[in-house]
Amino acid sequence: MKEQEIRGLIGRVKQGAMSRRDFVQRMLAVGLTAPLATTMLAHNGIAHAQTSFDYTPTKAGGGGTVKLLQWQPASQLNPHFAVGSADQHAIYLFYEPLASWDEEGNLTPILAEELPSVENGGVSQDGTSVTWKLKRGVTWHDGTPFTADDCLFTAEFASDPETLAYTMGTYRDVTFEKIDDHTIRLVFKTPRPFWPDAFVGTRGLILPKHLYQDYRGARAKDAPMNLRPVGTGPFIITNFVPGDLISAKANPNYHVPNRPYFDAIEMKGGGDAASAARAVLQTGEYDFAWNLSVEDEILDSMGASGQGEVRLIAGANIEHMQLNTTDPWTEVDGERASVTTQHPVFKDKAVRDALALLVDRAAIAEFIYGRSGEATGNFINTPDRFTSKNTSWEFDIDKANGLLDAAGWVRGRDGIREKDGVKLSLVFQSPTAGQRQKTQTVVKQACEEAGIAMELKVVAPGIFFSADPGNSDTFGHFYCDIQMYTSPMREPDPGLFMQQFLSSEVSAKANNWQLRNVTRWRNAEFDELEAAASVEMDPVKRAAMFIRMNDLIVEDVVVIPLIYRKVAAGLRTGLKAPLSTWTSYLWRVSDWHYDA
């Protein structure tokens, strides 16, 4: 798009003929990032509008205690060990990044004074460096000033291989320079087409150097702050019972004027999505609940009481089935699902292809997820320029039977197929959630018609999503044949999202099962494409690379995408809360309030 055309569109936004959101979407379509499009508007005098509501409080406090139900509870509170969404959300009460993503995918400053851009000199023309100016007057909860040293320490902490931080890839291969106490520069070895990563969003939460400096590397897991965080955020912890309850009080020295509105916050864990929905929508016992994976008719019935309402938030969350490429039933040197093994059944591509045909995505979307889900055959579903048009999916039991017959999987007397002494018998696990258990049942019924035996396993979310290396039921261990959950894309770009399939990210005993490639799939073409995309400055070429990466994992049936999800949140009537699926739903909890 020519500069004259862009200026014309900016003029339409100024005149009110085009919305700010539509402008950003047009820029995304031609290959620009949302942060750059937002910066273009800002430099033309068009201020960022809050997407959920306008909020201009005149004082902090007075709101009493707000009660949240996070039925998938947090297990620890160090952001760099937060491999699961439950921990990532809770941690935002206490820690903050330099910037994060709003509901529309726009980058918004938090601990930064302003957003870097090419126009203000913060982003180099060649994409090899970014300079951040830090907000002044910010203090940690214990009163210690927040400075550039904390940012540089966080990068050192996360990038240390002995720390085993899940964010290690974000801070690796970057040079961090302190310009002064409130200015840092990030220098990249190669151009970064999508630079908002380090110190941004869920992977960018900053730690206090003065408290963590004695807990680096192998000692990081022993830091008392992992359970008693000291951050810059709007709330100060008062109590934490892992897997159960978080209590916190308002930060009286919070760096944003007249915030937070609430004097205290309680986050209760446990239960399930249906009970969480009931506690907000029907009884009004709680103010908020996230991720209400409950059928539409049940939510509508609960909401009829008038106590609360359901809000659907769009994003890039993909509910999917993962197929284990390794053998979860054989132990090698004290580790199951070792990369030295092959899965005894899934090593046959015909079985994987048949399984994909046995998943009735249309029925799952219509009858289980309703308005909160759309059936899909792609792992990347947004932004549009990254979405593949090459994939397809179908539900066909007869075709699946034909594939298995042709591959030599013969039915035994019990109806279960067998080949070379190996039974086609699988264990399919998922965290507890009504919609997931119904999906498991739908898949199991179809598989049985094709001669595949399937045992369904359900794991409590607090265990499944935990970072506990000693618990073999976590999704990082993946000690079964198939597992299903939602993988969230935390920024409007698939770069970080697709790293979960890199060979270098294999989850294993050696890294305490903290890395992201839990399927343990390894593919040289994928690795090469990811490396090339990470430095490709041509947006069209880069998008084509991600489309190919998507096609590789879909065609090889590493995963079976099911539902492109919106997240359903329950809010008590009158609660105002800016929510985003691009980061934690608590990204601006300081602005949550009730109308006067």
563 pairs with which residues across the strands? 319, 375
Question: Which pTM value belongs to this model?
Answer: 0.75
Q: How far is CA 218 from CA 128, 173, 222, 321, 362, in A?
A: 31, 20, 9, 33, 47
pLDDT tens sequence across 188-197: 999 988 999 9
**Burial (0-12, 13-18, 19+ Cβ within 10 Å), 137:** exposed
The CB density around residue 464, as the number of other CB atoms within 10 Å, is 23
| Whole-number pLDDT of residue 12 | 62
Q: What is the pLDDT of residues 423-480, one digit of tens each?
A: 999 999 999 988 999 999 999 999 999 999 999 999 998 899 888 899 999 999 999 9
Structure tokens at 549: 């990466």
Helix runs in 201-260, H state only: 209-212
φ and ψ at 562, to 5 degrees?
-115, -65
Longest alpha-carbon distance in the chain:
75
Residue 20's pLDDT is 60
Angle between helices 539-555 and 524-533 (to 10 degrees): 160
Q: Are 428 and 441 in contact (CB under 8 A)?
A: no
Using CA atoms, how far apart are residues 204 and 216, in angstroms rounded to an integer? 17
The pLDDT score that the predictor gives to residue 595 is 86
Residue type, 473: D
CB neighbours of 584 closer than 8 A, spacing ≥ 6? 88, 89, 91, 92, 202
State the DSSP string of 384-399.
GGG--SS------HHH
Q: Which of 74, 567, 103, 587 is nearest to 289 (CA)?
A: 567
User: Do 95-226 and 317-565 fold alike per CATH?
Assistant: no
Report pLDDT for 294. Answer: 87
Averages of pLDDT over each 10 residues, the chain, 596 residues: 65 54 60 55 46 76 96 93 90 97 90 94 93 98 98 97 93 95 96 93 96 96 97 98 96 97 96 93 95 88 91 90 98 95 98 98 94 93 93 97 98 96 97 93 98 97 88 96 93 93 96 94 98 91 97 98 93 95 94 90
Q: Which residues share a beta bridge with 453? A: 425
Query: How many Å apart are CA 548 and CA 7, to the nearest integer?
Result: 33
Alpha-carbon distance 236 to 262, whole Å? 12
| Total Cβ atoms within 10 A of residue 291 | 24
Alpha-carbon gap, residue 295 to 533, rounded angstroms: 39
Domain ranges of the chain: 1-55, 95-226, 317-565
Work out the number of other CB atoms within 10 angstroms of the CB of residue 194.
Answer: 18
Go through 154-170 and write b for each residue having 16 or more CB atoms within 10 A of its CB, e for each that does not. Answer: bbbbbbbeebbbbbbbb
Looking only at the bridges linking them, the beta strands covering 99-101 and 107-109 are antiparallel
Q: Is the dihedral of CA 305, 306, 307, 313 positive or negative?
A: positive
Its sign, for the CA torsion 545, 548, 552, 558, is positive
95-226 belongs to CATH 3.90.76.10 = yes
Give pLDDT, residue 537: 85
DSSP assignments along 17-54, one per residue: SS-HHHHHHHHHHTT--HHHHHHHHHTTT-PPPPSS--
What integer pLDDT is reported at residue 466 of this predicted model? 87
Single-letter code of the amino acid located at 497:
F
Residue 330 has a pLDDT of 96
The CATH architecture annotation of domain 317-565 reads Roll (3.10)
Are 418 and 471 contacting, i.e. CB atoms less than 8 angstroms apart?
A: no
